[in-house]
Amino acid sequence: MAAGALARPIEETAADRVQTRAVEAVTEEFAKIVADHRQQIFRFLLSSTRDVDLAETLTQECFLKAHRNWHSFRGESSAMTWLMRIAINLQKDHWRNRRMQFWRMTRSNSVDLDEASEWLPSGERSAEQKLLAQEQVKHVWRAVDRLSARQKTVFLLRYVEEMDLSEIAAATGLSEGTVKAHLSRALTKVREEMKGRP
Partner 1 sequence: MNWKRDNAVDPALAPELEPELQEALLNFRGSVHAWSGEVYAQPRRAMAVSRHLSWRVALGGAMASLLAAGTLGGVYLHQRAMVRHANTPVAAAVRRAATVAAEPSAVSGGASADERKLDEAAWDVAAIQDLLASDDRQARQDVQAAGGEQGEVDLLAEVNSDVERRAPRAMEPLQRLMDESETQ
How many residues sit close enough to partner 1 to count as binding (CB under 8 A)?
A: 38
Cβ(87)–Cβ(58) below 8 Å: yes
Query: Can you spell out the DSSP letters for 89-106?
Result: HHHHHHHHHHHHTGGG-S
Burial of 37 per CB tally in 10 Å (0-12, 13-18, 19+): buried
Determine the residue type at 29. E
Q: From the CB of 3, what's the least distance to partner 1, in Å?
A: 54
Range in contact with partner 1 (rule: CB under 8 A) among 27-35, 63-71, 90-98, 163-171: 163-171
Among 117, 151, 153, 172, interactor with partner 1 by CB under 8 A: 117
Cβ(66)–Cβ(37) below 8 Å: no
Q: What is the C-alpha to C-alpha distance for residues 143 and 74, in angstroms, rounded to an integer? A: 37
Determine the residue type at 25. A
Range in contact with partner 1 (rule: CB under 8 A) among 27-35, 63-71, 86-94, 118-126: 118-126
DSSP letter assigned to residue 110? P
Residue 10 vs 101, nearer CB to partner 1: 101
Residue 83 vs 174, nearer CB to partner 1: 83
Question: Any contact of residue 159 with partner 1 (CB under 8 A)?
Answer: yes
Range in contact with partner 1 (rule: CB under 8 A) among 16-24, 33-41, 69-77, 170-178: 33-41
Question: Any contact of residue 189 with partner 1 (CB under 8 A)?
Answer: no
Q: What is the C-alpha to C-alpha distance for residues 43 and 140, in angstroms, rounded to an integer? A: 17
- Residues near partner 1 (CB under 8 A): 36-37, 39-40, 42-43, 46-47, 52-53, 56, 78, 80, 116-117, 119-123, 133-134, 136-137, 139-141, 159-164, 167, 187, 190-191, 194
